[in-house]
Structure 1
Amino acid sequence: MKPTALAMTHRTDDAWFDLVPQALIEFDEHGHLLRSNAAFAGMFGKAPAPGALLGHESEALQQLTGWDAPLALIGLAPGAPPMTNLAFIDQGSSNRRYLRSQVHAHPAVPGQPERFLCVVHDTNPLALVVQTPQPPDFTNTSGEPTGLMEFDQDQLLHELRTILESSPAGIAYVRDNILVRCNRRFERMLGLNPGTLTGQHLDALLASDPRIRRVVDQSTVELKNTGQFESELEIVAPGFPTRWYALSVRRIGPRTDTLEVIAVLSDITRIRSQQAQLEALGRDRDLMFTMSGVGIAFVRDGLVQSANPALASLLGLDHQDMAGRPLASLYITDVDTSTLARTDDQILAQLGEHGHWQGERALRHPRGTPLWAEVNLRLVKPDQPEEGFIASFVNVDDRHRAEQYLTLQADRTRAILDSVFVGIVTLDSGGIAWMNRSARRMFGGDLPDFLGHPLSTVATSDIDHPFRLTGYLDDLLDGQSHTFECQVMGRDGRVFWVVGNAVVTLGEFGERQITYALMDIDRRREAEALTAEAQATLQRIIEMAPMTITLCDAKTLTVIQANQAASAFMKIEPAKAAGLTPEQIHGANRGRQLRTDMLRALDSAKPLQREYKFEQGPGSSVQTWDVSYLPLSHDGQTADQLLLVASDVSEQRAAEQARLEAAIAQREMLVKEVHHRIKNNLQGVAGLLQQIAARKPEVASAISEVVGQVQAIAQVYGLQVGAGGPLRLKNVIEAIAQSVQRTFSRTITLVVEGSNASEWQLPEAESIPIALSLNELLTNAHKHGLAAEALTCSLICGEQQVCIEIRNAGLLPEGFNVHRVPGGVSGLGLVRALLPRRSSKLSMTQEGEQVVTRIELNPPGISLVPTPHILGAPSGQQIALWPQ
């Protein structure tokens, strides 16, 4: 501690110190003068400056304070008898003032240097002053009077002898290389037996250890030059550990006289050990400072005084550039969002108040991105903030960014949980800790309304309600869950059903929490109740239904369930049919047929209807069953069950067949009668027209054309008299060709090509238009062709269409196009108007000397005769129990 600092610590008692009439002076173990009072200044002639070193003051002041032999002060303990010293000061040529002092040790203060108080007494002689030489270690050998009164000499010698023997330092008086006197401590410190050195030559001492000889030789030279010598001596006594001593040798008397010295040995082994420890600690401190991975800096007045390489590496700077840099320049304040971070003034205020500060700060880095570090500031001296502080920096950038990422993830998770339709509620030991938006909407309140409350606040009055169970946190293991269904009563009074799942999770600080996932199933419960009621109703309907209803397994086709009416179809009781295959129930032949249709319905995944005729037995009637197969499956999945619905339609089919046959017979009879009368009427009309043509030759040609048309229509009705259903195309063509041939007495050759010519038929609505068109084309060929040559009419039948081709000798006009002929009531215009456009095509071409007219007929204008009805094929009305 500096002298000024020590002087400041004593300013509280300076007042009383100056008022004491006794001369006082105070100093510490380092030789710093702390203070002196006015009485000392008046006695000594001047007051030494506070903070001065005793080693630089006068010899008399050093003798009074005992600093001429400082090692003797080491053994002076607080409360021990004071150490007495003698000295004199010159006050003129013949006047000397003799002073006597007593040095007391102050009680030790932890962390402060040891202090001593020197009390000075004036010892000027008031009686006879003796000239007896004083002991060599306290008197001047020049023969000056000691200033002590004779009656004090024995007491003084006794005190000096007591002080000499009780001193913790080894003291010896040597004169002319003879060790005149020494205390026992001196001999023991050198490892010699007490009482063996007094009066012996120095050679006896030098022979004990060569290191002593070397020190003595050095001290002899220094004493001749300066009068004093100080050194440290290492002594290794046999049987004792190595000891270190501080040697202080001071010459007394004039330099011209015989060499007289006082040697003082002080044990500094503990001090040397402490110095070695301090040096080791210093080395360790420097090593820790330089080798530590934590950035450390010493800061004073806001500037970095020194920094270790770890801090420079952390900041990406040169280690030499750290000194003198402002500490505030290391921070980035615009991104410092730490909850512990404050402004620099606030940080310094807290540091001065508490002596330390800890927080996270964003450091500048050359790469441009902030580097987060944990900063710890601590004052070097808590009571003196101006002495500076130590700042340590630990890189927590990865942890800080991980925390930011975890916070972002937590926010995202909360946002996701708020967006789901499932209610999420988290509970800890204190009650509800958090719930998402769906749960708040479900419970009819906001989050503050439920925080800290138990989940049973929304439970019904049921004492066994799952929300009243509190053992989940202790009973459930990590990863285990508990599923339940219960009723919930919201804050709005609504009571509804939920299905829940409880699982134990870990909270933010590692504590166990329980998380509930709740789904409102009130509508589902209502739907289940309605479904159960509908299923019960359906089951009753099925049991009471008069038709056979059987449910079969899709894989094995065995019967799962059948109603009572199914016994008529299976010829076995429904209870006995469970688990049996179709072959086991219906026999090999019938069962094989049923299995085939079942598999076909399952493969197509569509409803399939079949009608079976089964004989009851040899010679008995045939029973007809209308059977429907319906595969049962979920959307997009394979059917796992097959529903079979069968109805006995034997009587219905017999009645339908009888009614159908009667209706057909009646219709055929009526149609034949009508067609016969139409034909007769048309032939009567044709006869009347021919009579008119005979009476009026000027219109004979026009009337003959009309007569041909009427005859063509009559031929169609004539053909319908003997036919049931649609007319055969071949018969119509033959009838029209014969009618035209009779009318105009013109030979017409009919050619038929195709094996299926007799199977093509005309619908009833198309018969007359085709007949009139064919009549007009044959009449047109007769009028415009050469009379000497016969007309040719060919029927060419294919698999998909029929072509009627008419050939006659003649020439078409140049540029003739049948599609440009306008519609009319006769000729080609009538043909274009009558032919159905969707199923026919008309063309006229010139092939050599012949004109070829073609009519192409396509379905549905014509059709093939349908195949006969196959016994067992579906017929009648289909009964559907489920939507198709």
Structure 2
Amino acid sequence: MFGSPPPPPALLELIGDPVLTLRADLTALRANPAAREWLGSDATDGWRLLRQAAGSRLETWLRDASHAVETGRPVPPAPPLKLADGRRATLHLLRERPNWLLHVRLSAADIAEPPLREWLALSPLPQLMADAASGALLRLNTGFEQLCAAAPRHLNDLPDLLQALLGWNRGAPLPALAAQRAADGPLITEAEFVDAQGQHRWLQARLRLWRQDGRTLLLAVLEDQSLLHERDLAHQQLDALMDTAAVGLATFQPEGGWLKAHRKGTPFKNGAKAVVGSLQGISRDIVEPGSLAEFERLQRALKKGDLAEVRYAVRHPELGRRWLLTRVAPGILAGGRRTTSVVTLDVTAQAQAENALLLRAESERAVLDSVLVGIVTVGPDGIEWMNRSARRMFGCELADVLGQPMGVLAPEDDEHAFHAEPGSDVFECRLRGRDGREFWVIGNAVQTPRDDGSQQLTYALLDIDRRRHAEAQSRLAQASLARIIEGAPMAITLHEAQTLRIVKLNQAAAAMAGQTEAELLGHGPEALFGNAQGGRVANDMREALASQSVVQREYQVTSGPGTRMWDTRLLHLAGVGGDDAPELLLLVASDVTEHRAAEAARLQAAIAQRELLVREVHHRIKNNLQGVAGLLQQIAARRPEVAPVLKDAVGQVQAIAQVYGLQVGASGPLVLKRVFDAIVGSVQRAQGRVVTTTAEGGALLEDWCLPEAEAIPIALSLNELLGNALRHGNGGDGGEGGQVRCQLICDAGGVTVEIANAGRLPDGFLLQNIRSGVSGLGLVRALLPRRSAILSLEQQDDDVVCRLELLPPSVVHNPAIKPSSG
């Protein structure tokens, strides 16, 4: 057939293989019965869908084959096409001027291909196939059934988290899944899911929509990523453990030697000059001579695979002498292969700690020598040591009393504590210094065993005269503080921590409550702040008692005909008066009524001034933009060659000016209905045409608003879409175009703007092929937010319908309207 001239059209009807007659642009013109049976009754649409599904491979071959026929070169082989029913199609292209003939040879499907249920049963991964239109589950394997508590029949029967993982939302596939093309990879989703057995799993889903014979199927393969997450967590924990403990970790195999050292393991740390941390970084020449025998035992354990723990010393060139502890632990891997784990730990700190113990006694003696308490140690032979405070207390040096009994420091009294048997009780006694001064001390004696088996007494003595002097000063300070509190202009009260009753207050607190001190003592916080505020104040007091920090609150207290604002601070006083003193709560309140009123007035003035400035700025911007639009119109009148371009620019500037004009006198986001009406009016005035508008949604028309950041981009987009409809619409008389209809639809989910005009879209028109630009659909695509605005353009009978769907956050609810309960 292809070696001779093309057959006449009547003969094509008798050919059993599909034959298409293509135009010069390779779109379908006619089809024989076999082609219509293959592509459907509308062969033209079927050929278009086939080209879209085959993608760039078919388009490249059609372009190269037509060029080869025109130039007389050999036609490249057609790419093999596997159809949805399993058959394969082989294409041949012939020239029939001015058209083309495309012959298609169909081969039968591979009958040896196993059925889908066998593949599902064979796969250990959870898999399913569902109807994307209805959500009915068509196929699922055992792995997927184990995720569910009961056998599901519909996607809506699955848990919400599993539906989201499968790309199913509110009875339809996710927009990202529905927008997939044949050449795109699968959509991947991840989520943590609790299966029917209560196990937490981290699942990853690979999703794809498969379209065949007008039916769309949802294919999903799930993979459990829990083990990978646990492995990564184990690696992180191991890294943290190695870094914290400064441990070197390595693996040794007898047949393969060292396999891998831990990437962070090193017993030596010295910044950027850290040496190799695994055992293979420790050579014999840095081992101390006294540790060579132990090091040799370690080498033999490594070669034989024996369990060993060796401690040895090395001389590091930078860190000096270090002690290392290496543990060799043999084991067998899951595959039966022998391996040995080697852990090296720097134990130099332990050796240093042993040396530190020798210095601890002297260090403790130095500390005791510096404390203010007098300490005297007495052995079997008498006084052995006195600290500096004791020597100053008794007015002598250690040499004066060394080896003498403790009674030499006490008066001649047989019942004195220094003469009696020592006990654990605290005693208070009078002492006499070597200089003759007598004074009172409080102290105790502790008896401890010594290394030689004898007992040692340690006396700790505190000069009470100094404490009494300090107590007198404390009482004086407390009296001064009480006078200050009583005369302070702030209300101050003390409350019991358990009952919150008032135990003490000053005159300012009594004046705040309008009662006397006697009437308030013993009562709760409601006596100060009234019954209405009493419960709230009590809760705040308990919070302060539990938090151990200052709690600040403000309360309104009715005082006569007016209301006063009190700034109150609550503080828990725990153990202020000693360990046996009851816990108290301190309340300090200041009258800030005038201060708060002044602040509120300043704030309102600042807000009013800001709103005035914003309105003025918006008004000036609108006037300037309108002035710019007027200049552009004058230039267009003088320069007719650039008038169309300037006309578009004037419309865009007028759209921006309309937004700024609406913002004059308005606060918060702009009502979308007002922006819509303003843009429609601006376009009608600029084009000299009438646009028929309708609005649906009732109260929602005043509810949906545009945020400030989205107002100008969406206004420009509406201006371009309306202008585009007016420019490209055509009427039946060939005049200035047919009627343009614009409809605003508001519902609970968002806002839809629908623009319809008489006309036809070009063949093969795809909105996604329109590149971003400075006018028309290119400007609209560049301005609209990608995630919350959906633009579509389609042919409906004799009309071109453009739909712009705006979803939150591109549109928001009006904050001035109280949301309905429904």
Work out which of the two has the higher radius of gyration on C-alpha atoms and give 1 or 2.
1
- Shared fold (TM-score, shorter chain, > 0.5): no
Normalising TM by the smaller chain, what interval?
0.3 to 0.5
Q: TM (normalized to structure 2)?
A: 0.40
